[in-house]
Amino acid sequence: MSQSDDPNAPLPRMEKDAAVKWAEDYTAYMARLTDVELIPSTAKVNFEACVGQNDEVAEDGRYSLFYYVRSPAPVTEHTSVVRTLRRELAQQGYEVTGYREFQDAYASAVFRARNKKNSYRVTAETVGSGRTNPQRLSFSVRTPCMLPPGAKQQQF
């Protein structure tokens, strides 16, 4: 539930609306860094429960946000995108946790990274089969477990 080994460590606090705004801004930032467009109508916001090491779920309002939006960038640009993100975000405190350059529909482009300071995770990857769905580039972010301001953090 928290980012440390202590299940009762204080969680970062942020209103859900502010978390969505950050996610929108950060995926737009990743798109600008890589010089690609986004398709706003594809944006999806998913708030998820925080599940602890022993499958416990708190009832204090804590959440994790998973947000993604797609880009129409052709697959010929996907390798360039993940290369740029790997280079730029590593310089900004992100640890690369997954990386692959685009090869084909079965070995598509993937970039995953985690911010070492706050545990925010970002991803850019090829999505779609190419046969029935066009292959697009998806930018996504996931927050660590967060608590709304004013909520009393449940202890375990």
Q: Which amino acid is present at 66? A: F
d(CA 41, CA 51): 30
Residue with more model confidence, 50 or 129: 50
Of the pLDDT bands very low, low, confident and very high (cuts 50, 70, 90), residue 132 is low
Q: What is the pLDDT of residue 2?
A: 42
> What percent of the chain stands above pLDDT 70?
93
Average of per-residue pLDDT values in the chain: 92
> What percent of the chain stands above pLDDT 90?
78
pLDDT digits (tens, 9 = 90+) for 45-78: 999 999 888 888 889 999 999 999 999 999 999 9
**Non-local CB neighbours of 137 within 8 Å, separated by 6+ positions:** 36, 70, 71, 73, 77, 78, 81, 109, 124, 125, 126, 127
Over range 127-133, report the average pLDDT: 74
**Non-local CB neighbours of 2 within 8 Å, separated by 6+ positions:** 8, 9, 10, 11, 144, 145
d(CA 43, CA 64): 17
**Which of 63, 76, 54 lies closest to 143 in space, CA to CA?**
63
pLDDT digits (tens, 9 = 90+) for 1-40: 445 578 788 999 999 999 999 999 999 999 999 999 999 9
